[in-house]
């Protein structure tokens, strides 16, 4: 590990806006078994009281990278609390440092695997979720996509009724997959577009005015950006799209640029 990362990890410990729980705080063993189970972290249900000191709405950005989008949204809406979630401590260092330097009281960052997200938020605690340029998991498990039925079920456990999920991506594959999930579960679509800077669909201003580092690069290359916003409300288990999504077709349409757009350096 380089000295730069070690310095960032050490400085991360000083940021009041950055929560970095260790595995023992969210995992324990099933009684009489070696299997691990998720357990509630003490902050669950208490972000407003313990972290922000208010009862303003809470919005998450999952897979926030360096926190560009989280920070920009927080600057625009000081009456809303924003939490960026990522597993990479070196990336979160940048967001936490900027929030600290700017004195942004409505910003926090959480270092954890998104699979553990249910351990940190209580029922009705979150109003909105942003998925900005998430890994589309082109060749990975469908369950690893952050808009899969498995993840939607996790989100429903802590989102308010009528809560909104925003998906903004350069991946047409992920857009169409999510669209198929939404259709299979009869979720209410609030806004949708496959080339938002060309078509200018009805959407919140920040959809167009807030951009990540990579998004700016995609636009300079002439690549279209897609957007889909939908309500999480659904009764009963979420179902997978099955034949409603032609993965091979959209994988072919995706092209070779994925290796660039999700380079390990972050957003």
At 231, is the secondary structure helix, strand, or coil?
strand
| 135, 195, 233, 246: the active-site residue | 135
Residue with tokens 């189970």: 37
248 is catalytic: no
At 57, is the secondary structure helix, strand, or coil?
coil
Length of the chain: 267
At 193, is the secondary structure helix, strand, or coil?
strand
Neighbours of 75 (CB within 10 A): 15
Hey, what are 108's tokens? Answer: 């926090």
Distance CA 62, CA 17 (A): 16
At 53, is the secondary structure helix, strand, or coil?
coil
Q: What is the CA radius of gyration of the chain?
A: 18
Is 171 within 8 Å of 178 (Cβ atoms)? no
Distance CA 10, CA 8 (A): 5
Is 100 within 8 Å of 75 (Cβ atoms)? no
Catalogue the E-assigned strands of the chain.
18-19, 27-29, 36-38, 58-62, 81-86, 107-111, 126-132, 159-169, 189-193, 226-231
Catalogue the E-assigned strands of 206-259.
226-231
Q: CA dihedral in degrees (208, 126, 98, 226; nearest 10)?
A: -20
Residues marked as catalytic: 135
């Amino acid at each position: 590990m380089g000295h730069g990362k070690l310095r960032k990890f050490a400085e991360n410990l000083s940021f009041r806006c950055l929560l970095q729980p260790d595995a023992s705080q969210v995992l324990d063993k099933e009684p009489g078994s070696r299997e691990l189970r998720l357990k509630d972290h003490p902050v669950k249900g208490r972000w407003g009281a313990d972290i922000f000191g208010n009862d303003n709405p809470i919005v998450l950005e999952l897979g926030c990278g360096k926190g560009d989008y989280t920070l920009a949204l927080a600057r625009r809406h000081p009456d809303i609390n924003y939490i960026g979630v990522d597993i990479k401590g070196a990336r979160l260092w940048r967001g936490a440092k900027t929030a600290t330097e700017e004195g942004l009281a409505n910003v926090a960052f959480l270092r954890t695997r998104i699979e553990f997200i249910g351990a940190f938020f209580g029922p009705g605690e979150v109003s909105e979720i942003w998925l900005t340029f998430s890994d589309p998991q082109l060749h990975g498990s469908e369950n690893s996509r952050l808009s899969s039925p498995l993840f939607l079920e996790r989100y429903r456990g802590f989102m308010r009724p009528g809560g909104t999920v925003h998906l903004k991506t350069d991946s047409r594959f992920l857009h169409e997959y999510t669209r198929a999930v939404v259709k299979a579960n009869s979720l209410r679509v609030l806004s949708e577009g496959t080339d938002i800077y060309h078509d200018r669909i009805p959407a919140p201003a920040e959809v167009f005015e807030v951009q990540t580092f990579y998004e700016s690069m995609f636009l300079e290359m002439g690549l279209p950006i897609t957007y889909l916003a939908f309500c999480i409300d659904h009764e009963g288990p979420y179902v997978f799209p099955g034949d409603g999504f032609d993965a091979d077709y959209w994988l072919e349409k995706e092209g070779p640029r994925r290796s660039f757009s999700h380079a390990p350096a972050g957003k």
